[in-house]
Chain A
């Protein structure tokens, strides 16, 4: 069975500070992992995905994530937060039967000036 846990429903950082959003997964098969961002009243936009090609995945808007099998983690980072990064972020793992996504509960990122 697949599942995702996102630690911290709310994260607050100052502009220019490091962003770290945590995601741990559980999967009975080699996982495919995704990070999405959602702005208020918008759909989800793909930031990046892990499909086993490389453990460090670079995405859009300066975000990256590192797949660590030993820790079953796929944390999202960005070296320097920007005000426009304020949004909700969802981690997801896809299922083995078909492309069913199991989403984490989301982390709302607040960026302080």
Chain B
């Protein structure tokens, strides 16, 4: 089945220690998104890629970076995690940038910062 895969599902890192979360997709979609979701809150868009074109949300902290080496993979790098970065991180894809396209979500990576 075509899908969005996130690894690992659970990640524990130490305060200030860089961490990378990964996402892959077999849907061959052009657009990939990274969201941060804190407990009992709506997902918050961090950035998205349309092909290799990177788009950062204005309020995404500089501590968060992303890479998309090819169509299938996208990475979220947190350079110096703080306690406030503990959250669920969701990767999503869509076929295009048009407003009618639904987004397909991965299962998420729950990040704990100790």
Residue of B nearest to A43 (CB): B105
**Contact between A34 and B41 (Cβ–Cβ < 8 Å)?**
no
**Contact between A44 and B102 (Cβ–Cβ < 8 Å)?**
no
Q: What is the CA–CA distance of A92 and B108 in the complex, to the nearest angstrom?
A: 19
CB distance from B2 to the nearest CB of A (A): 14
**Contact between A105 and B42 (Cβ–Cβ < 8 Å)?**
yes
State which residues 47-95 of B face A: CB under 8 Å.
48, 50, 55, 88, 90, 92, 94
19 extra interface residue pairs, beta carbon distance < 8 Å, beyond A43-B106, A106-B41: A41-B88, A41-B108, A42-B108, A43-B4, A43-B6, A43-B92, A43-B108, A44-B90, A44-B105, A49-B100, A90-B43, A94-B100, A94-B101, A95-B99, A98-B48, A103-B42, A103-B43, A106-B42, A108-B40
What is the predominant secondary structure among interface residues of chain A facing chain B?
Answer: loop
**Contact between B108 and A105 (Cβ–Cβ < 8 Å)?**
no
Instruction: List chain B residues, Cβ under 8 A from A100.
Output: 45, 48
- Choose from B94, B105, B107 the contact partner of A99 (Cβ within 8 Å): B94
Residue of B nearest to A49 (CB): B102
Instruction: List chain A residues, Cβ under 8 A from B101.
Output: 94, 99
Task: Say whether A77 faces chain B, with CB atoms less than 8 Å apart.
Answer: no
State which residues 70-108 of A face B: CB under 8 Å.
90, 94-96, 98-101, 103-106, 108
**Contact between B40 and A101 (Cβ–Cβ < 8 Å)?**
no
**Contact between B90 and A99 (Cβ–Cβ < 8 Å)?**
no
Residue of A nearest to B9 (CB): A41
Q: What is the CA–CA distance of A42 and B107 in the complex, to the nearest angstrom?
A: 5
Q: What is the CA–CA distance of A51 and B99 in the complex, to the nearest angstrom?
A: 9
- Choose from A29, A46, A96, A98 the contact partner of B50 (Cβ within 8 Å): A98
Task: Say whether B13 faces chain A, with CB atoms less than 8 Å apart.
Answer: no
**Contact between B98 and A99 (Cβ–Cβ < 8 Å)?**
yes
